[in-house]
Structure formats: C-alpha cells, structure tokens
Amino acid sequence: MAGQTLYDKLWSNHVVVQRDDGSALIYIDRHLIHEVTSPQAFEGLRLAGRPLWRRDANLAVPDHNVPTERVERSGGVAAIADPVSRLQVQTLDDNCRDFDIVEFEINDTRQGIVHVVGPEQGATLPGMTVVCGDSHTSTHGALGALAHGIGTSEVEHVLATQCLIQQKMKNMLVRIDGALQNGVTAKDVVLAVIGKIGTAGGSGYAIEFGGEVVRAMSMEGRMTMCNMSIEAGARMGMVAVDDTTLAYVKGRTYAPGGALWDQAEAAWRDLHSDPDAHFDRVVELRGEDIMPQVTWGTSPEMVLPVDGHLPDPAQIDNPTRRKAVERALEYMGLEAGMPITAIRPDRVFIGSCTNSRIEDLRSAAAVVKGRRVAASVKQALVVPGSGEVKKQAEAEGLDKIFLAAGMEWREPGCSMCLAMNADKLGAGEHCASTSNRNFEGRQGFGGRTHLVSPAMAAAAAIAGHFVDVRDW
C-alpha cells in the first residue's frame, strides 16, 4: 500500500463515522468565529433550543467590520459609526456572552484578523481540523493542520455537533525547489503558482506546498501561501510540520507546555507526507525562476512578473480568454501591451490576512525607511493584522518609519481588504494591495486592485509606480 499524504493523515485522524455514500462525519478541533457569518448560526441554535456541543473548541474575534482609525476605534463597539457594522459586532459580543464562548473583543490587544490571531495565540495547532465561516481559513494549514472555510449553516452544524459532513478531496503537491532570489517573497511564489495553474486549478484538491523553498520559508511566509490556496481554487492548503513549525508554536498562549509539549511534538513529527505517498497531481516550480509578481486584472490569475507587459487581446486566439482580458483591461483602465511598471497606484494598502504579520511589516518598513511616499499617492495605509503584531511593530519602531514616510498606521482589522468599514478605494482608483482578491469592486465600488507583496507595495508607494524591488 502506498504511503499517506499529509492530508490523508489529517483526514483519517478525524473520521468519526464513515458513511456508505462516501461522505464522512469529520471531527472539528477548532472553530474560529467572526461577526459576519455567525449571527444566523447562533440564532439557529436558539430557535432549535440546541446547546453548544463543546465551548472550549471555539474562539471568536470581530475583524471584518471594525474601524481602523484610532479615534473611532477608541470608543469601542458603541462608537462604530456605521449602525449595521456596529450591530454585527455587538451581536458577536452578545452571542459569545450568551453561549459562554471566549472572544477577543474589539479593543483587546489579542484582537485582530481571525486568521492572524489563531496561529499567533496557539489557538490553531499542528494536526488540528480548523474551520471558520471564512474562505481564508486555509491560512491555518501552514501549521500542518486541515483547515478550510465553511458557510453559515455549517457554522451552526459545528456549533451544535463539533462535526461536519465532508467528502474527501484529491491530493495535489505544489513543489518549489531551489531558492528564491533576494526580494522575492512567499506572496510572489503563491501568485506565480496561481498564474501557472489558474484560479480553478486547485478545485477538488487539497494542496500541499513542499520543496526546498517552502522548507526554507518562515511560518509567516507559509501562512501567506496557504492563505491564497483558495484563490487557486483549493479550499485548503497545507505545509508539513518541521522544526520551523515547532519553533513557531512553542510558547504560544494556547499551545501545550511541559510534558504535554513532548507528547504533542512526538505526534506532530509524523505530520508530513510519506516518501511513497501518492499525489493525484504534482505542480513544480523553480524558486530561481520566480520574479516579483503584480496582478494587472480582475482575477488573481491575471498576474505577471514585474518586468512583464500587459497582454494584448488581439493576440489571443481563444475567444473566451480574449473577452476576459478585454473586459479586465477596460475595468482596470489599462492599455494592452503597457509595462507593469507604468501602472501608478493612487492608494497603497499593506495589511489583510495574507500579509499583515510582523515579517510583512518588517519587509515593508525596510523598503520605506528614510524615504517619502510619492506625491501622486493619495494614501498609504498600513494595517497590522492583530493587536499583538501592532505592539511588536511599535516595539521595533516600525510605526515611526511608516509615519515618517507619510504612511498611516492603523488599528488592526480587515480594513481595505474588503472595504466593509470606512477604508475603501474611490471609483477608478488603482491600489497596490497586499491582500488576496482583485475582483471588481472588492476594495470599493469601481476600485482597481493590484495584488503584490508588502515590499512591492511599499516600493510602489515610494516610487509612485510599480518597480522591481530586487533593484531597490
């Protein structure tokens, strides 16, 4: 019998009941909750008179709707200007109180984007099944966990049963061997992967990222990659446990200590694909070949190396593809054939669950240090992923560097990633953004998003147009 993949192991470790129709009841170790997708689920429990199955498996934090301006933020929930947002955040507080679920409330230092908070607190650990009513739950796979997003009815299902009814996925290995060039980051790698396999390339698969580049990558980088698995069409991405994982997890608030740590470590050491494991699909990239990436269109697969030129629809034979490129160019207000470096962002956003961790902020700060944001850039926002990240960044003086460069230093939250709060693009504005989705209107009605790494975003803020950060 062939060996097992990491995904196979995580799956089989969590099967409660295997059903004849191929589905299985899967046990969920950790359920993360935020304010947008949970209210109806709690309401459903109340209506059915059902108790919570296991309170200590849940952790809640508001992130999508929280304001990031210090003034609005300092008044807490009551001071949230938008009444719809305020009610959603208040409702999360109320539900967590009623069901006795631990919540990091709006101005708690531990508050932040749910996918930054989970690993940071040790609330998500290797070997776990992790779910949350949010598609970027794939992030947590970086710890060697089986993690994916769920809908509101499934949120309710997990609250009530601690399980989900699931079908097993196929296995895909994305292997990146070699080494990355200076200035090339995990964000560039995952964008290059999406550029290669397309936004539906991973659909039906659980992706494991492996190879020398991934082994050499920090946990922050691995989280960035797993975060965007969903943009490659895969509900989950994961990375095998190694010394880097263990070093990251050790000492975190909710991580085991003492004798329990030894027991956990022994179990976690097995969380990797066996050498003879079978993958249904293998995708290979060379680290040296990957350049800094910039998306030019309205889908994450519309991505090019920074030295690239925009596609010309006239040279595309496939009519569906030609139409898509034409429409994207029109929406983005860009010319066929123009160089990526000629695109001039009006705003810059450094943040989101993809790139708002300390390493991301350090890399952006290194680029802007001692420089000024270009006059043509209306706003450059830096939004740390959590209160802990913010505190750490301030301890390192990164906030001062950003402020001195003319950037704004905000309170933690999702912010301009989805523009559910006041941080958004105006119609027609271009944004160099470290987030994960460049769909039409994602960052504000009529807004035009270019997905890049934190260093690339920072460099664009200074130069006033995209530049190759390797030359920085």
Partner 1 sequence: MKSFTVERGLVAPMDRANVDTDLIIPKQFLKSIKRSGFGPNLFDELRYLDEGQPGEDCSRRPLNPDFPLNQARYRGASILLARENFGCGSSREHAPWALEDYGFRCVIAPSFADIFYNNCFKNGILPIVLEAGVVDALFRQLYASEGYELTVDLQGQQVTTPAGEVHRFEVDEFRRHCLLNGLDDIGLTLQDAAAIQAYEQGLRQRSPWLFDVIK
194 is a site residue for ligand SF4 (CB under 6 A):
no
Residue 23 within binding range of partner 1, rule CB under 8 A: no
Contact (CB, 8 A) for 152 and 187:
no
CB contact at 8 A, 204 and 271: no
What whole-number distance in Å separates Cα of residue 421 and Cα of residue 412? 12
> Residue 47: which residues within 8 A CB-CB, separation 6 or more?
none
Alpha helix (H) residue ranges in 316-435: 319-332, 358-368, 387-395, 398-404
134 lies in the site for ligand SF4, by CB under 6 A: yes
Strands 281-286 and 170-177: parallel
Minimum Å gap between C-beta 119 and ligand SF4 is 13
Q: Which does 353 bind (CB under 5 to 8 A by kind): ligand SF4, partner 1, none?
A: ligand SF4
Residue 385 has phi, psi (to 5 degrees) of -75, -20
255 binding partner 1? (CB under 8 A)? yes
CA distance 63 to 111: 8
157 scored as a contact of ligand SF4 (CB under 6 A): no
| Closer by beta carbon to ligand SF4, 92 or else 414 | 414
Residue 421: phi, psi to the nearest 5?
-100, -155
Segment contacting partner 1 (CB under 8 A): 197-205, 259-267, 387-395, 451-459? 259-267
Total interface residues for partner 1 by CB under 8 A: 45
In the bound state with partner 1, the residue whose beta carbon lies nearer, of 56 and 284, is 56
Residue pair 281/201 in contact by the 8 Å Cβ criterion: no
Q: Does residue 436 touch ligand SF4 according to CB under 6 A?
A: yes
Q: What is the DSSP string of 309-350?
A: B---GGG--SHHHHHHHHHHHHHHT--TT-BGGG---SEEEE
Of 72-80, 157-165, 169-177, 446-454, the window that binds partner 1 (rule: CB under 8 A) is 157-165
Query: From the list 47, 79, 247, 314, which residue makes contact with partner 1 (rule: CB under 8 A)?
Result: 47
211 binds partner 1 (CB under 8 A): no
Q: Collapsing DSSP states into helix, strand and coil, what is residue 31? A: strand
- 471 phi/psi in degrees, rounded to 5: -90, 0
Choose which of 9, 157, 272, 424 interacts with partner 1 (CB under 8 A). 157
The stretch among 207-215, 235-243, 314-322, 410-418 that binds ligand SF4 (CB under 6 A) is 410-418
Q: Does 269 bind partner 1 (CB under 8 A)?
A: no
Q: Which of 4, 68, 88, 295 is close enough to bind partner 1 by CB under 8 A?
A: 88
323 within 8 A of 356, measured Cβ to Cβ = no
33/350 with CB nearer partner 1: 33
The correct pick among 14, 64, 73, 448 for binding ligand SF4 (CB under 6 A) is 64
- CB 225, CB 186: distance < 8 Å: yes
Which residue of 23, 135, 161, 181 would you call a contact of partner 1, by CB under 8 A? 161
Nearest Cα to 29, choosing from 144, 169, 136, 112?
A: 144
The answer to whether 113 contacts ligand SF4 (rule: CB under 6 A) is yes
Contact positions vs ligand SF4 (CB under 6 A)? 63-64, 113, 115, 134, 136, 352-353, 414, 417-418, 435-436
Contact positions vs partner 1 (CB under 8 A)? 16-17, 25, 27, 29, 39-40, 43-44, 46-48, 50, 53-59, 84, 87-88, 91, 102, 123, 125, 127-128, 153, 156-157, 160-163, 165, 254-256, 260-261, 263-264, 267
